[in-house]
Chain A
Amino acid sequence: MSVARFFDEMSYGPAPEADTEARQWLARHSGKFGHFINGTFVASASGKTFDSFEPATGTLLAKVALGGAEDVNAAVAAARKAQGPWAKLPGHARARHLYALARMIQRHARLIAVVEALDNGKPIRETRDIDIPLAARHFYHHAGWAQLQETEFADQVPVGVVGQVIPWNFPFLMLAWKVAPALALGNAVILKPAEFTPLTALLFAELASAAGLPPGVLNVVTGEGETGALIVEHEDIDKIAFTGSTEVGRLIREKTAGSGKSLTLELGGKSPFIVFDDADIDGAVEGVVDAIWFNQGQVCCAGSRLLVHEGVAPLFHERLKRRMATLRVGQPLDKAIDMAAIVAPVQLQRIEGLIAQGVAEGAALHQPKIELPKGGSFYPPSLLTNVQPTSIVATEEIFGPVAVSMTFRTPEEAIQLANHSRYGLAASVWSETIGLALHVAAKLAAGVVWVNATNLFDASSGFGGKRESGFGREGGREGCYEYLKPKAWLGRKLRPEPPRPAAKPAAGDFAMPALDRTAKLFIGGKQARPDGNYSRPVLSPKGKVIGEVGEGNRKDIRNAVVAARSASAWSSATAHNRAQILYYLAENLSARATEFADRIAAMTGASAASGKAEVEASIARLFSYGAWADKYEGSVHQPPLRGVALAMPEPQGVVGVICPPEAPLLALVSLVAPLIAVGNRVVAVPSEAHPLAATDFYSVLETSDVPAGVVNIVTGSAIDLATTLAAHNDVDALWAFGSPELSMLVEKLSVGNLKRTFVDYGKAIDWMDRSAAEGQAFLRRAVDVKNIWIPYGE
């Protein structure tokens, strides 16, 4: 009996969760797992395996099949075969399957939780109370979307066969985030769990099969980075969904460029955690615990950058240090701990290395004197103060239990410091003043903002980043679209090469000459001569020179981006204001309809009637987006808390537009109008072959009160200007329509800042067709949805 000792010490004894059932499950598989392909476990074709270790002890947990090309091919073939029938099932049937998966997770929740804790090293509290319940909730929620798909997404079809590569920090939850929406909406999946943590995905596959999921719908291929690369590069996969590091995300973007694969990336972060002097300080201190010591800080959206109002910083740090001293680090299955093991020795070394570097750069390291378990990969909760923004620990994602802290003086400075990052995943704002908290939340460059809270997740509310934290959303209606594509775009054909007539020499005569018009570039609200001061001729289909336009170069693009960047007032202008201007553009275009129709006919050789039709369609399109401007709204999600999550569509910022050769006015309007309707500023490159409709449009812009810099137009070579725009790190998104080469180039060069791209892979749409060329399919790509979580109560 040690009662007396405990009575005197009042310490916590060990409180281990049993692992009997989990070990039995491993034993049933003889500690060896194959891939799960077409409904059964199969060994790698090569016979190769890799080892999965228990991070808390360093001992071997299981041998797992190492996926090679043959395995990936088999999985893709199985998925391809299953996808058609799966998509053809009525939504209700898929809803029943998803519902069965949700229930199945709940029935086996403890087994999954224990296996997860063993394999990943995270505390059983988190797997049991957070990861697994959230995963079940994800399947419930998406069972609902399957049920509603036919009515709610009537104009969409499934993407097809989806390759999903998930990380080791939330192995089971990330599986749910990926698999649930994909299956719900009629896609088939090849999932590759992380090499450190493959076990719960295999357990899920086994249980899903037992729950009646048809073979081939879900395939799990285990392996290392190379296996992931095989999936990413596989020709018969329609979409890649990846969660992981920004570095790998970049590689995937490059590898998939031009392939036509849809892509979502959920990448790293260095998320700010902002504490104002009117915050509930103790609440915020506890928030830090949930922000950076949750899952040992191995959380992409971890609040790792503390920004504290100068006046309260000493008190805040004092209380935070006190709180750190009461944190307990222990074995993953101990039920009385706050933190357990780091996933692998290599990760531990990375953390140690970055901290050492931070300290060398002048940071003060605080670690509480608490006991760490012996053996295994453990690291204490850590706080770095006296950190300057220049330090590596302030800019790089550490992915460990390490918070760095800096101070700010004013709300403006807090916003500036918070947004001064290449990342933009999440943010926390702590203030008891609603005006301040919401003001800051609205200004933060992040996909998710938690007000007086942190690390809240729910299937109803989209999760995903801005900037180099990736693109796409997971969860909610916004997440469903990542696994759908517009019906109206099916059957698009490669557009023919644009005609390149040979220029005929012009011969003058003695008639009254037309008055010369010099088309310049349009930058910052002014007509500007091209930097190089060269011009290019514009030819009619018959080769007659009908005008000249400026030959824009990279400096013109640079200038246009600067102008667009500084026109930020447009993004915060009222929707009504933007609507008025779009209508006014239509009005002024209408006044010159004949002139524009003639110009189109002269450039393209189209009939007068079709020139007129294009102008009329352009006017109508401007009206459509004027209409949308104050109606493309967000929604209010209802996650399970007393509060709301506001899903707010936000403009992406500065967006480049490369117009296709055809429909020189209508395509320009169809691409620029949705962007500016929701508050973006645009740098547009008009149809290379027929740019005069765009240069004529300057004066329409000028007379319609479009603020300077909101629409900038640079004429010239589409591919050259796209190259500069795609590589420009201050351009947030790039829409490029034209040749397959253009799409490939744009996607490949977008990796610098992981800008959002919207390309057509050379496949033309009919710009006159409203269902294909207008509406929400464009507006959705013109915004990022920011989810602002606002718990409330007094």
Chain B
Amino acid sequence: MEELAQRTAVPAPAGAGHNWPRNHGIDLDLAWVLDQRINLSAAERRVATLPGRRTVKKDAQAAWLLKAVTCIDLTTLNGDDTTERVKRLCAKARQPVRQDILDALGMGDRGITTGAVCVYHRFVSTAVEALAGSGIPVAAVSTGFPAGLVPHDVKLREIEASVADGAREIDIVITREHVLSGNWQALYDEMRDFREACGDAHVKAILATGDLKTLRNVARASLVSMMAGADFIKTSTGKEGVNATLLVTLVMLRMIRAYQERTGIKVGYKPAGGISAAKDVLNYQFLMKEELGREWLEQDLFRIGASSLLADIERQLEHHASGAYSALHRHPIG
């Protein structure tokens, strides 16, 4: 908590900050889970018409994109990751946008950083060290990411190890089989164990929506994960055939809202994978604001799992600051 306060140089507007009560979960309510009905065509229409209903231009657009930067979980999750690669990423997380651009936008004193850095367990300690003093949390993907098919006790030990290394956020993957076979109790129990293993670290439940296929499955898995105590629900590992989409986002946000309606608890949302263009992330932000409200635009309740998105935002911001179109190589690599 203290660290977080430090890294937000200027207090975020009302509603931001980690001052929401944590989600401790509730008993599994099977009737509620099974009662979910999502009409695909209706959901598609909502998503399809949104870009025509909401847009931001000029200063507003720059502000929204900067806000998106503060919500990015800057991520590297590749087999060829190395210590040096992770350090480079952490440096980028500390200074995601060139200072001169921030200055030109009148945002130079806001201490803009990304929301977190997201790595495999092996690099947690490297990242924690590289980010020391920045207040930027390290998130570790866990529980046999991305397929989540290692033994359950191994998953729990992996979480504990990452927490011990200083990870403040754990991105777990659920066992898709539990969803596909309708074994909601097993999903709930698994998630409960993950939540407990995390201790004070926040847990993001990756549903791997691309594997779940139907929106009904996504809705049910979202609810069960929240009932079992997820602090965030997250779309994808980035490794499924289909990753974050506005469509699954709509459904997951509505489940977050339904959970809040019933429990009063605000659960966060993290789309991941496939969001690489500035104009795409704006649509996610619009959906957050429209479906959940202003509070969900801050990093406490919104994260974006992305690696190449930042580079496109940087170009847009430079264009806004200078009036001339930018190029990738004008911005430091992350």
* Chain A 753-786: CB-based contact to B (< 8 A → 1; otherwise 0): 0000000000000000000000000000000000
- Inter-chain CA distance A290–B46, complex, in Å, is 9
Q: Which residues of A contact B40 (CB under 8 A)?
A: 792-794
Residues 670-719 (chain A) with a chain B CB within 8 angstroms? none
In the complex, what distance in Å separates the CA atom of A648 from the CA atom of B118?
Answer: 56
- Once the chains are docked, how many angstroms separate the CA of A622 from the CA of B168? 83
Among B107, B215, B216, B290, point to the contact of A3 (Cβ < 8 A).
Answer: B107
> Are B110 and A642 in contact, CB atoms less than 8 angstroms apart?
no
Per DSSP, chain A at the interface is loop
Decide yes or no whether B56 CB sits under 8 A from chain A.
Answer: yes
Q: Does A510 contact B (CB under 8 A)?
A: no
- Residues 286-316 of chain A, each 1 if its beta carbon lies under 8 Å from chain B, else 0: 1100100000000000000000000000000
Query: Which residues 30-46 of B have a CB within 8 angstroms of A?
Result: 37-46
In the bound complex, how far is the Cα of B64 from the Cα of A12, in angstroms?
9
The reply to whether the CB of A151 lies closer than 8 angstroms to some CB of chain B is: no
With both beta carbons as reference points, the residue of chain B lying nearest to A10 in the complex is identified as B297
Q: Which of A8, A282, A284, A793 has the most CB of B within 10 A?
A: A282
Question: How close is B303's CB to chain A, nearest CB, in angstroms?
Answer: 16
The 8 A CB mask of B184-220 against A (1 = contact, 0 = none) is 0000000000000000000000000000001110000
Task: Say yes or no: B38 contacts A4, CB within 8 Å.
Answer: no
Q: Which residues, 333 to 347 on A, are CB-close (under 8 Å) to B?
A: 335-338
The size of the chain A interface, using a CB distance under 8 A, is: 45
Check B60 against A13 for contact (C-beta < 8 Å).
Answer: yes
The answer to whether B58 touches A283 (Cβ under 8 A) is no
Interface residues of B in 89-133 (CB under 8 A from A): 104-107, 110
From B45, B46, B58, B289, A10 is in contact (CB under 8 Å) with B289
Closest to B44 in A: A793
B-side contacts of A15, CB under 8 Å = 55-57
**Is A1 close to B, CB under 8 A?**
yes
Chain A residues with CB below 8 A from B329, complex form: none
Known contacts A2-B59, A10-B64, A338-B53; A791/B106 CB under 8 A? no
Given contacts A452-B41, A643-B41, A794-B40, is CB(A10)–CB(B106) below 8 Å?
no
User: Once the chains are docked, how many angstroms separate the CA of A2 from the CA of B105?
Assistant: 8
Query: Known interface pairs A9-B13, A125-B52, A280-B37. Does A4 touch B110 (Cβ–Cβ under 8 Å)?
Result: yes
A-chain residues with CB within 8 Å of residue B56 when the two chains form the complex: 6, 12-13, 15, 336
Provide the residues of chain A in CB contact with B41, threshold 8 Å.
Answer: 452-453, 641-643, 791-793
Q: Is B244 an interface residue (CB 8 A)?
A: no
CB of B155 within 8 A of chain A? no
CA separation between A414 and B138, bound complex, in Å? Answer: 55
Q: A1, B59: Cβ atoms under 8 Å? A: yes
Interface check B294, CB cutoff 8 A: yes
Choice from B39, B60, B290 contacting A452 with Cβ under 8 Å: B39
Contacts of B105 in A (CB 8 A): 1, 3-4
Kindly identify, within residues 1 to 27 of chain A, every residue whose CB is under 8 Å from any CB belonging to chain B.
1-15
Query: Is B330 in the interface zone, CB < 8 Å from A?
Result: no
The answer, yes or no, to whether B87 is at the interface (CB within 8 Å) is no
Interface flag for B242 (CB, 8 Å) = no
User: Is B78's CB within 8 Å of the partner chain A?
Assistant: no
Question: A residues 212-232 with Cβ under 8 Å of B?
Answer: none
A-B contacts at CB below 8 angstroms, number = 118
Asked if A453 and B45 sit within 8 Å, CB to CB, the answer is: yes
Q: Which residues of B contact A326 (CB under 8 A)?
A: 290
CA distance A129 to B104 in the complex (A): 36
Asked if A148 lies at the interface with its beta carbon under 8 angstroms from chain B, I say no
A319 CB to closest chain B CB (Å) equals: 8
Looking at B12, B216, B254, the one whose CB has the most chain A CB atoms below 10 A away is: B254
Residues 253 to 291 of chain B near chain A (Cβ within 8 Å): 254, 289-290
- A279–B64 alpha-carbon span in the complex (Å): 35
List the B side residues contacting A337 at CB < 8 Å: 53
Cβ–Cβ contact B66 & A336, under 8 A: no
Q: Which of A3, A280, A432, A643 contacts B63 (CB 8 A)?
A: A3
Task: Check B54 for interface membership: any CB of A closer than 8 A.
Answer: yes
Could you tell me if B42 and A283 are in contact, using CB atoms closer than 8 angstroms?
Answer: yes
Chain B residue with Cβ nearest A335: B55
Complex: A703 Cα to B67 Cα, angstroms: 82
CB closest chain-A residue, reference B258: A282
Residues of A within 8 A of B (CB): 1-15, 125, 128-129, 278-284, 286-287, 290, 326, 328, 335-338, 430, 432, 452-453, 641-643, 791-794
Name 29 interchain pairs, CB-CB below 8 A, sorted by A: A2-B60, A2-B63, A5-B63, A6-B59, A6-B62, A6-B63, A6-B64, A7-B110, A8-B13, A10-B63, A10-B297, A12-B60, A13-B56, A13-B59, A125-B49, A128-B52, A129-B52, A279-B39, A280-B37, A280-B38, A283-B39, A283-B42, A286-B42, A335-B55, A336-B53, A452-B39, A791-B42, A794-B40, A794-B214
Top 7 closest pairs, chain A to chain B, by CB: A13-B60, A283-B42, A6-B63, A791-B41, A793-B40, A280-B39, A7-B63
